[in-house]
Amino acid sequence: MGQAMRLGPVVPLALLLALLLSLLLGMLAAGAARVDAAWPGLRGVKRVAIEVVFAPDHPQLAPEVVEKRIEDALLANPAAPKPDPRSADRLRLVVAVRQVTSSDLRGYYLPWSGYYSVGTVRLAVERQMIVPGSPPASAIPAIVWQVERQALGPWRRSRDEIMVLIDDLVATLIEDMRGEGS
């Protein structure tokens, strides 16, 4: 038999560092491409009309107060779209939180039962889209991004909980517009 050649640390350090650097640059480039494609429907959204819907109405919150809160959050962040009531792109917030009794939740009556808030808070971006093969004037609204949070807790604290959820939803939108979100 021939002599076995022993491969020890023969790879020069410079070659190893060059390989690691090229792998790192490749991962960074792939990460940048992934960020650009994270939410393609949000690309190009610069202005949005804000719409707030309560279903059913909430006695502790007015739609105007919630709309102002969303406007302030968008204006405070340079990466966020700017509020514009004439924009074709729409930011729609739907608050569907209702009051239920603990008896309703349990299924039977107990004395001194309290009231709870149960429902969802949903934020969506809706853009005008043209179906391929249709005339340009026949644009239809399409939801291109949507996030929802559950509202569960004592009814007396439902206003504060809903406002916290709205803040979280707007922050998630801004992260996703920057490409930092899921």
pLDDT in tens, 56-95: 999 999 999 999 999 999 999 998 999 999 999 999 999 9
- CB-based contacts of 64: which residues, under 8 Å, 6+ apart? none
Cβ partners under 8 Å of residue 74, min gap 6: 48, 80, 81, 82, 83, 91, 170
Q: Determine what percent of the chain is predicted with pLDDT higher than 90.
A: 57
- Domain check: are 81 and 34 in the same one? no
Q: Which of 84, 155, 149 is nearest to 123 (CA)?
A: 149
Give the sheet arrangement for strand 82-83, strand by strand: 82-83, 47-54, 90-101, 115-129, 140-154
Is there a domain that residue 31 lies in? Answer: yes
Give yes or no: residues 108 and 127 share one domain: yes
**How many domains is the chain built from?**
2
Tell me whether residue 101 is in a domain. Answer: yes
Domain membership of residue 168 as a residue range: 44-178
Q: Is residue 3 part of a domain?
A: no
Residue 69 belongs to a domain with what CATH number? Answer: 3.30.160
Rg (CA), the chain: 26
* Helix (H) and strand (E) counts in the chain: 4, 5
Assess whether 146 and 123 both reside in one domain: yes
Do 24 and 83 lie in a common domain?
A: no
pTM: 0.74
H helix runs in 37-150, sequence order = 63-75, 102-106
Mean pLDDT of the residues in the chain? 83
Does the structure show a pLDDT above 80 at 8? no
Give 23's pLDDT tier (boundaries 50, 70, 90).
low
Res. 33 pLDDT band, cuts 50 70 90: very low
